């Protein structure tokens, strides 16, 4: 009696330990910032909206993961790890929900904020590219949700930068950015490994400000002054360095960070507002196209390698000399064969040269063959 084989559903790979730790600290940091923002910093969105944003992000994340697990015939990533596993699974959704609400201002239209959160979380299942053997999302979720809101609702805007320090005075105006900068730098240096990206982004930002000043007459100090704001510090340490949508290789980090800065300079030079979010979205989109290009090139290379042996084998068969064993009737034996057995056919080996084998259609060769045949006939 055979026991039917049972299939064990395994969940999709979880994040690396360092990435999970980084996400945990991201989530804690943005939660503390929101609490401080609504308590004494001066956040201007309604106090209920962060809870709505988090709830929306959780629901969308769990629902789409359940659908993805069912399609892939695997266990959901939030299953099997208990409460801790569920919490770790929801770290990205927690960060995305709070970030979209914190960085956008849509007046009293909460449904626009909810729409942005849904788009931000949902893009992880829609805009994907093959990377290291599996499909990975390449669009920065929070940034993409904000960019979509700004594109579809022209009356919406980003949150006013002053609301991060609206009720701070004196040294406190510098203390808060310093704390965010130190914590963010430690986080990226020890866990995400995105310091090359940060340096390329900051260096590129300075370069584009100087270039716009020299070419377009923009005030260089004013262009560089943006780097002193809390919003810029948050973007540098917590958004553009998203470990899930930014490259990990050093050279790729440099290209990515410098690319965002260059794209921002171009968009700002063209008079496009909120260029920092659109620049990040465009560079992420370019990176996604690049990953798909690498994937198709690899597939094409594999197909060519599979076809190569067959092509070489065909060429070898064409170039090989033609040698066939042909059975031809032998001359009748003069003596009797014991037992009256029929004479066995002789074996003729062809050389592959039609003229020598007597299979060509040349007139001269045909005449020579006829002469030989006459001489061979007994008189």
Given this model, what pLDDT does residue 174 score?
86
* Residue 333 burial by Cβ neighbours in a 10 Å radius (0-12, 13-18, 19+): exposed
292-345 per-position pLDDT tens digit: 999 999 989 988 888 877 655 555 555 555 444 444 444 444 444 444 455 555
Instruction: Tally DSSP H helices, then E strands, for the chain.
Output: 14, 6
Q: Is the pLDDT of residue 352 over 90?
A: no
Alpha carbon distance 201, 196 (integer Å): 8
Q: Which of 8-12, 262-266, 304-308, 344-348 comes out lowest in average pLDDT?
A: 8-12
Contacts of 277 (CB under 8 A, 6+ apart): 143, 146, 147, 150, 158
For every residue of 9-75, DSSP letters joined together read P-BPP---HHHHHHHHHHHHHHHHHHHHIIIII---S-TTHHHHHHHHHHHHHHHHHHHHHHHHTSB
Q: What percent of the chain has pLDDT over 90?
A: 59
Confidence of residue 177 (pLDDT cuts 50, 70, 90): confident
Q: Is the pLDDT of residue 7 over 50?
A: no
Buried b or exposed e, range 271-305, using 16+ CB within 10 angstroms: eeebbbbbbbbbbbeebbeebeeeeeeeeeeeeee
Q: Is the pLDDT of residue 5 over 60?
A: no
Given this model, what pLDDT does residue 261 score?
97
Output helix, strand, coil percentages for the chain, rounded to the nearest 5: 65, 5, 30
Q: Is the pLDDT of residue 283 over 90?
A: yes
Given this model, what pLDDT does residue 15 score?
62
Pairing of strands 104-105, 128-131: unpaired
* Residue 308 burial by Cβ neighbours in a 10 Å radius (0-12, 13-18, 19+): exposed
Q: Region 353-367: what's the mean pLDDT?
A: 65
List the structure tokens of 45.
């969105």
Alpha carbon distance 260, 275 (integer Å): 10
Given this model, what pLDDT does residue 279 score?
97
List the structure tokens of 6.
């049972």
| 203 vs 327, more confident | 203
37-87 per-position pLDDT tens digit: 999 888 999 999 999 999 999 999 999 999 999 998 889 999 888 899 999
E-assigned strands of the chain?
104-105, 128-131, 134-137, 157-158, 325-328, 346-349
Confidence of residue 217 (pLDDT cuts 50, 70, 90): very high
92-147 per-position pLDDT tens digit: 999 999 999 999 999 989 999 999 999 999 999 999 999 888 889 999 999 999 99
Given this model, what pLDDT does residue 249 score?
92
**C-alpha angle 376/377/379, rounded to 5°?**
125
Rounded (10°) CA dihedral 313, 319, 325, 328: 140
DSSP 347: E
List the structure tokens of 97.
């929900």
């Amino acid at each position: 009696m055979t026991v039917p084989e049972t299939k064990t559903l395994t969940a999709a790979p979880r994040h690396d330990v360092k990435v999970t730790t980084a996400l945990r600290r991201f989530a804690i940091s943005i939660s503390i910032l929101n609490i401080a923002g609504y308590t004494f910093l001066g956040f201007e969105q309604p106090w209920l909206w962060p809870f709505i944003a988090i709830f929306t992000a959780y629901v969308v994340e769990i629902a789409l993961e359940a659908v993805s697990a069912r399609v892939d015939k695997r266990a959901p990533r939030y299953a099997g790890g208990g409460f801790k596993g569920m919490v770790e699974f929801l770290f990205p959704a927690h960060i995305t929900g709070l970030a979209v609400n914190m960085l956008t201002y849509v007046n009293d239209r909460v449904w626009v904020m909810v729409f942005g959160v849904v788009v931000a979380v949902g893009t992880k299942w829609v805009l994907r590219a093959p990377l290291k053997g599996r499909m990975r999302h390449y669009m920065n979720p929070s940034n993409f949700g904000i960019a979509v809101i700004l594109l579809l609702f022209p009356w919406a805007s980003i949150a006013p930068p002053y609301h991060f320090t609206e009720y701070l005075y004196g040294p406190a105006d510098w203390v808060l950015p310093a704390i965010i900068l130190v914590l963010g730098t430690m986080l990226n240096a020890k866990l995400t490994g995105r310091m090359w990206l940060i340096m390329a982004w900051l260096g590129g930002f300075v370069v584009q400000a100087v270039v716009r000043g020299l070419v377009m007459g923009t005030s260089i100090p004013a262009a560089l002054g943006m780097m002193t704001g809390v919003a810029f510090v948050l973007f540098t340490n917590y958004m553009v360095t998203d470990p899930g949508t930014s490259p990990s290789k050093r050279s790729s980090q440099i290209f990515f960070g410098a690319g965002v800065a260059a794209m921002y300079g171009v968009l700002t030079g063209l008079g496009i507002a909120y260029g920092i979010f659109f620049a990040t979205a465009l560079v992420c989109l370019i990176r996604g196209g690049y990953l798909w290009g690498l994937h198709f090139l690899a597939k094409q290379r594999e197909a060519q390698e599979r076809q190569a042996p067959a092509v070489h084998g065909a060429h070898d068969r064409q170039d090989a000399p033609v040698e066939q064993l042909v059975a031809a009737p032998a001359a009748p034996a003069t003596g009797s064969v014991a037992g009256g057995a029929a004479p066995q056919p002789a074996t003729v080996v062809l050389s592959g040269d039609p003229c020598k084998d007597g299979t060509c259609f040349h007139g001269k060769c045909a005449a020579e063959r006829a002469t030989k045949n006459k001489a061979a006939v007994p008189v």
